[in-house]
Homo-oligomer: A and B are copies of this chain.
Amino acid sequence: MRKLYAGIDIGGTMIKTGIFAGTGELIADWQIPTVTKHQGSYILPHIAASIRDYFKNHHLDEERLAGVGVGVPGPVLANGYLENCVNLGWGNVYPADELSKLLGGIPAIVGNDANMAAMGEYWQGSGKGYNSIVFITLGTGVGSGIILNGAMLYGAKGLCGEIGHISVNPEEPEVCNCGHRGCLDQMASAVGLVRNAKRLLARRTNSSVLAGINELSAKQILDAAKEGDVIAMETVDYCMNFLGKSISDVSYVVDPEVFIIGGGVSKAGEFLISVIRKHYEENAQLVSKKAEIKLAELGNQAGIYGAAKTIYDKIDKER
């Protein structure tokens, strides 16, 4: 009987779980709501119960579950310590130890969700076949996960891949949630696209399909840009220029073979990639052979894939 591995992605509203074979095959997946009340103390018991239920309902021997990997929206230290995870209500926790106890002592590992998604794309998505990738997620914020020669980078303080706080725009008047002004996060995230589109709409007299919209979204801006709306196109070009510049900067630090673009904003597809690539190539002039830039493939399942792969690798290493 082959061993199974659970990959879990805890988000602020939903918890995704996948059951995987060690070969990367997704056998089952489901979602449960994230209950954040009582400092998020229900989250791990809910996860353990849903996994137990799955095994029971499918007449599977629970002993076949070899381990569980979890991605969380916060910085996790190498020893598994999580100082603060505002979205889940957690503080000062070692969630892997707790989850392991709830599941009868099986190996568990917890990591940052962007890192887990990077590992997922590396294992079974757009990163398959590469040795070194940088996975960039463009959502509410900008995050990334970096894998060099097959190994995830964590860093001395869990900051590896926090490229959302690369300083890109000294002229940005608003303050980023990190306390600095002009971070990549403020430009290339969904929030950044909306903020910059509104500014441009206020400043310009061009007619635009975006002008009448009350609650403007990044998707609307990207859709309008594809249709040739001038304000939308200018917004996308302006914001993605900062991402292209940052990709160039990152290539001068870790020089991966490929940059993989995921997250909600990446649903704009190859249109978005072509804008990013143009600005990356304008900036990265030191070598003629540039890194590839590709769309992510696993969508919002990248996190569960990567979490399963991370616990699989940990168990494999200790064998």
Contacts and interface: CB of A to CB of B under 8 A. Distances in A.
A257 interface: yes
Nearest to A246: B249
* A contact residues, range: 35 or more
Contact of A156 (B132, B165, B179, B248): B132
Nearest 4 A/B pairs, CB to CB: A155-B255, A179-B285, A159-B255, A178-B286
B148 A252 contact: no
Contacts of A291: 156
A81 to B, nearest CB: 13
A298 interface: no
Given A166-B252, A178-B285, 17 more contacts: A132-B155, A146-B253, A154-B255, A155-B254, A156-B256, A156-B291, A159-B287, A160-B253, A160-B255, A161-B253, A162-B252, A162-B286, A165-B248, A165-B284, A180-B284, A180-B285, A249-B249
Contact of A253 (B253, B257, B283): B253
Contacts of A167: 245, 248-249, 283
Interface string A209-250: 000000000000000000000000000000000000100111
A180 B283 contact: yes
A251 to B, nearest CB: 6
Nearest to A252: B162
10 contacts: A154-B255, A155-B256, A156-B255, A156-B257, A159-B287, A160-B254, A163-B252, A165-B252, A178-B285, A178-B286
Nearest to A132: B156
B287 A163 contact: no
Contacts of A254: 146, 153, 155, 160, 253-254
A289 interface: yes
A203 interface: no
A158 interface: yes
Nearest to A148: B153
B283 A157 contact: no
Contacts of A153: 148, 254-255
Contacts of A250: 253
Nearest to A287: B157
Nearest to A292: B156
